[in-house]
Amino acid sequence: MNRKVLTLVLIRKLNEVLLGYKKRGFGVNKWNGFGGKVEAKEGIYEAAARELREECGLVVLPVNLEKIGLINFEFVGDPLILEVHVFTSTKYEGHPFETEEMLPKWFHVTDIPFDDMWVDDKLWFPLFLSGKKFKGYFLFQGHDVILKHNLENITCF
Ligand SMILES: Nc1ncnc2c1[nH]c(=O)n2[C@H]1C[C@H](O)[C@@H](COP(=O)(O)OP(=O)(O)OP(=O)(O)O)O1
């Protein structure tokens, strides 16, 4: 099995979460956190901070990122496993702006646009929103159907 390591950053303030509308590439036309591939010789915290800055202009120090999730995604017929490290932070600088990849928008925690997000998000976002940490696995058929999954609440990474 090949593995691709990715990051996903969910910025919070009070009762809001910052999401970005993906304008191109993998996950196009979905709202998601900010993130992408971890480059060679880059740590995952540094990669998460870099992707956040590249995709919406917000600056967060790697030390101010809290790892809250680890999710492995597998797609039927594809030997590549996506290993996604999920982070959150309330300590950031700057104001989010649109980039060629993402259109950022704040959403109230009671108004997360699950119908226009990856279908797995509906299952693990409640853990994130209630301050819990988690590990999960999702087997997808295509990009819209989950054939199998497991999700566990953990105490620390
Ligand atoms: N199923 C699911 N739910 C929630 N979030 C995600 C998934 N699958 C995913 O891949 N993701 C996340 C993980 C990453 O944050 C992005 C995907 O990153 P991607 O845009 O492919 O990575 P980049 O490095 O930006 O790619 P290029 O633009 O450079 O090709 O979605």
Each residue of 92-117: pLDDT tens digit?
Answer: 999 999 999 999 999 999 999 999 99
User: Is the CB–ligand 1 distance for residue 122 below 6 Å?
Assistant: no
Collect all residues with Cβ–Cβ distance below 8 Å to 76 and sequence separation of at least 6: 139, 140, 141, 142, 147
- Give the model's pLDDT for residue 1: 72
Domain 2-154 class, CATH top level: alpha beta
CA atoms of 39 and 62, how far apart (whole Å): 15
- Give the model's pLDDT for residue 123: 98
State which ligand 1 atom lies nearest to the alpha carbon of 34.
15
User: Is the CB–ligand 1 distance for residue 82 below 6 Å?
Assistant: yes
ipTM topping 0.90:
yes
- Give the model's pLDDT for residue 88: 98
Three-state DSSP state, 127 = helix
Measuring from atom 22 of ligand 1, which residue has the nearest CA? 36
Measuring from atom 30 of ligand 1, which residue has the nearest CA? 25
User: Is the CB–ligand 1 distance for residue 118 below 6 Å?
Assistant: yes
- Could you count the other beta carbons within 10 Å of the beta carbon of residue 95? 9
Q: Which of 33, 37, 152, 43 is nearest to 89 (CA)?
A: 33
For the chain, domain boundaries: 2-154
Collect all residues with Cβ–Cβ distance below 8 Å to 115 and sequence separation of at least 6: none
Q: Which of 147, 135, 25 is nearest to 76 (CA)?
A: 147
User: Is the CB–ligand 1 distance for residue 8 below 6 Å?
Assistant: yes
Rounded to two decimals, the pTM is 0.97
Which strand (E) or helix (H) includes residue 4?
strand 2-13
CA atoms of 64 and 24, how far apart (whole Å): 28
Residues of the chain with pLDDT under 50: none
State which ligand 1 atom lies nearest to the alpha carbon of 82.
10
